Amino acid sequence: MAKRIFITATNTDIGKTYVTSHLLKHYASLGFKVGVIKPIETGVVEEPLDGSLLLALVQSLNAEMVELTVDDIVPIQFQLPAAPYCANSAKSIDLSVVDEAIDKIESLCDILIIEGAGGLYVPIDKETMIIDLIERFEAKALLVSHCRLGCINDTILSIKALQERDINLVWTLNCHADDKSFSTVSEPYFKDQYPDFTIFKNDIAKIADTLLL
């Protein structure tokens, strides 16, 4: 079985696909055969945008992925840009298709990166949240947080949610160029309480190494 890493975040639009893409490139540069899957994507009109980007990237990094299609990368797709629960009218979702896709993809790779949707408690159906997928797939979690005002609260809540499930996790901050207030309104807390905290763009190698431990 490939090493499984699940990319999750404190909310939507935090940068999960950005982080996933850079980790794929980093691991490939070290000689690993990489694979990727985004189990569920919503807001799909003609084709899944995130899934298409990830497919093109992973095929450029791992020649064994050349026969895969975007439906392999994103086995569950919905048109409405909303939580899967809402996008699928609260109907049950058969996750066995994701299990089958994972089996197919990880037979071609050493490291499989699984990109989640939204935050940990995005509902998939009446029985399942995104956080449940991390346990289902027996993956190590990389929690990605933002650097805007409110990131302290969002980060701590998500860390606690993962710890309560005994999920093995690494966390990082994905700061954008316009997050100019971070150094004064949030960073002092992280420096005091989490002195080893990382900022993704500065610490990709360190994060990638820790995820493999």
Active site residues: 38
For residues 117, 121, 124, 125, the Cα torsion angle rounded to the nearest 10 degrees is -170
Which helix (H) or strand (E) segment holds residue 142: the answer is: strand 140-145
Q: Which residues pair with 40 in a beta bridge?
A: 76
| C-alpha distances in Å from residue 102, one per residue of 54, 108, 213 | 15, 10, 21
Residue 53 CA: distances (Å) to CA of 48, 58, 211: 9, 9, 23
DSSP state letters, 147-185: -STTHHHHHHHHHHHHHHTT--EEEEE---TT-TTHHHH
Rounded Cα–Cα distance for residues 74 and 99 (Å): 12
Virtual torsion, Cα 53, 22, 157, 118, nearest 10 deg: 0
